[in-house]
Amino acid sequence: MGTTEDDLRQALHRIDGRGYPAYRDLKGTWHLPHFKLIVRHVQGDPFAAPSRVAVVLEPARAGFPAATVATASRRTGLSCLLARTFAARARRARPHRAGSGKSGEIAMTDPGQVVLPNTAVIVDRDGTIEARFTVGLPAAGRRVLGRQAEKLLLGVLPDLVSDTLAHAAHDPHDVRRHAEVNEDADHMRAQLAGRGLVAFIADGALLPRRSGVDDRPMDRGQATLFTSPPTLQVTLERPNGPPLAGMGIPRGVTLLVGGGYHGKSTVLDAVARGVYNHRPGDGRECVVTDPGAAKVQAEDGRSVAGVDISPFIGALPGGQDTTRFSTPNASGSTSQAAAIIEALEAGTRLLLIDEDTAATNFMIRDRRMQALVRADDEPITPFIDRVRSLSEDAGVSTLLVIGGSGDYLDVADRVLAMIRYRPRDLTAEGRAVAAAHPTGRLAAEGPVRWPSRHRVPDPRSVRPGRGRRARHIRVHGRSAVAFGEERIELAGVSQIVSRAQTRAIALAVARARAHMSGVVAMEDVLDALAAELAEGGLDVLDSGQPGDLALPRMQEVGAALSRLRSLRVG
């Protein structure tokens, strides 16, 4: 069978009017005038998931300057620009669909505000562009509409490709900006550790979002732009621009205080999302955070498998061992304790906590409650009594939003107040208040043993298959996954940014099984998986080469694996 444009046209004419399975004749590679069209999977009927296809533009056709693709950071910035543009243009074309089911639909995964390596558009170092998307092959009922498919594949699609994936379709300044802004963010994040910082927020950053379900920036006319307190101002270098001034958050224990609705949680959320880069114009392009930072919270009802929560939870009634704590239905305090230890297990060196989503009895036990309930009858050692040891003994910093407990002033290295959306360094004032108003609270005594080696997952308990299928994975939005016979709930893993990332996380959990042997510790499994992704890219997760994956962090992969109810550990 030929593979030219004329061959494809003839094939479509030949199958016109036949049963829908005739579309399978299109599977393979077609050499069109300006790009290669690869049909990787043909849908079973017009109401099924659309067919998976790709186009490949050679460097001469794509036309991107060598400087634009010179580094991995630049290529990722460019890939997200192209994916975002293609996805938006394809959405605008949807009113022209015709036929049954998804007939005529062209769709690509939109990366949104976050810039991550993805499989929607892959930019090679030589400038080759591969775009992966889905196409609803046209049908009337379950009969092939070959003439409409010809218009779609040989008319609409080539126009869409030329209007979105070639350098000539874009403002050269816009292309360069997307590449350089992403490279700058990676460069700034790489400076944090050497400067003793865990996060940086540039002066002029726009942190508020339009809403809790809209990640786009608030209108600049309504938002207060960020300005660093002089005492915390630092300057970071950028390869594509002048040095940038802003607020550096040092290692240690930092409190975010202030009245309600003054911006505390907005700052914390921006720092949490600062583990990722953002598109130009997002407002958070120059907010960068330690790449392993983890936001943790209480999650009533989650499962916990063999986690050593003994630094926080001592002897429980009934004698349950908290050095290997397991439960299918954790409380707020035990779930938050487990989340912290699991984060350390995944390499986290910065914890982000908002009191609004924390378990109160895990965070604080004041003097009056200490007097009322004897220490022998309280198994919980609250976070306030462990946060300094986390910093000094385990090397783990904490950024904590706190508005209801002044006791934390006694353990903080610095106090940052948000007052009418503007940050102020109130460290000196906080220490003066703590000295003037002693609480009489009794701190827990004795050394803390932080786990140095962690759980060993049993590969037999990680079962992605269902029935005759070796792998059954279905993603339900950002926060839930059907995994084999199980369902993984991820609503409490708040740093997942998209459905594409959730799907990659679920596939990574399945792939992690190959690195388990019953003697390999969880952190080593995650390290091996991270190395495999760094070497082979996201396609190691799915041999079908789909276009709907975005790079996950091992913090979220570990969190998903830990929430798998079938998980057993040694």
Long-range contacts of 225-228 (CB under 8 A, 24+ apart): 226/201, 226/202, 226/423, 227/203, 227/422, 227/423, 228/201, 228/203, 228/423
Backbone φ/ψ region at 99: left (φ over 0), alpha (ψ -120 to 50), beta: left
pLDDT at 541: 98
Mean pLDDT, all residues of the chain: 96
Which of 384, 563, 545 has its CA nearest to residue 490? 563
CA–CA separation, 146 and 18 (whole Å): 9
**If you search the block for the tokens 């996805």, which residue do you land on?**
87
CA–CA separation, 32 and 132 (whole Å): 16
CA–CA separation, 534 and 113 (whole Å): 23
Helices (H), ranges, 16-151? 59-62, 72-92, 146-151
For residue 461, what are the contacts with CB-CB under 8 A and spacing of at least 6? 564, 566, 567, 568
Domains of the chain and CATH, by start: 5-170 (no CATH), 198-287+349-451 (3.40.50), 459-562 (no CATH)
Rounded to an integer, the average pLDDT of 397-425 is 96
Rounded to an integer, the average pLDDT of 327-332 is 97
**458 three-class SS:** coil
Rounded to an integer, the average pLDDT of 257-274 is 96
CA–CA separation, 390 and 506 (whole Å): 30
Structure tokens, 277: 């880069």
CA–CA separation, 203 and 76 (whole Å): 25
Rounded to an integer, the average pLDDT of 465-481 is 94
Q: Is 320 a residue whose pLDDT tops 90?
A: no
Residue 489: half-sphere exposure toward Cβ, Cα within 13 Å: 11
CA–CA separation, 140 and 117 (whole Å): 38
Q: Is 1 a residue whose pLDDT tops 80?
A: no
> How confident is residue 284, by pLDDT bands cut at 50, 70 and 90?
very high
The 10s digit of each residue's pLDDT in 96-148 is 566 778 899 999 999 999 999 999 999 999 999 999 999 999 999 999 999 99
Q: DSSP string covering 188-209, please?
A: HHHHTGGGTEEEEEETT----E
Span of 55-59, 179-183, 312-316, 340-344 with lowest mean pLDDT:
312-316
Q: Say what percent of the chain tops pLDDT 90.
A: 92
pLDDT at 91: 92
Rounded to an integer, the average pLDDT of 532-537 is 97
pLDDT at 99: 76
Rounded to an integer, the average pLDDT of 278-296 is 98
The 10s digit of each residue's pLDDT in 12-33 is 999 999 999 999 999 999 999 9
For residue 224, what are the contacts with CB-CB under 8 A and spacing of at least 6? 208, 263, 420, 421, 422
The 10s digit of each residue's pLDDT in 485-511 is 999 999 999 999 999 999 999 999 999
For residue 367, what are the contacts with CB-CB under 8 A and spacing of at least 6? 439, 440, 441, 442
Rounded to an integer, the average pLDDT of 60-70 is 98
pLDDT at 96: 54
Q: Say what percent of the chain tops pLDDT 70.
A: 99
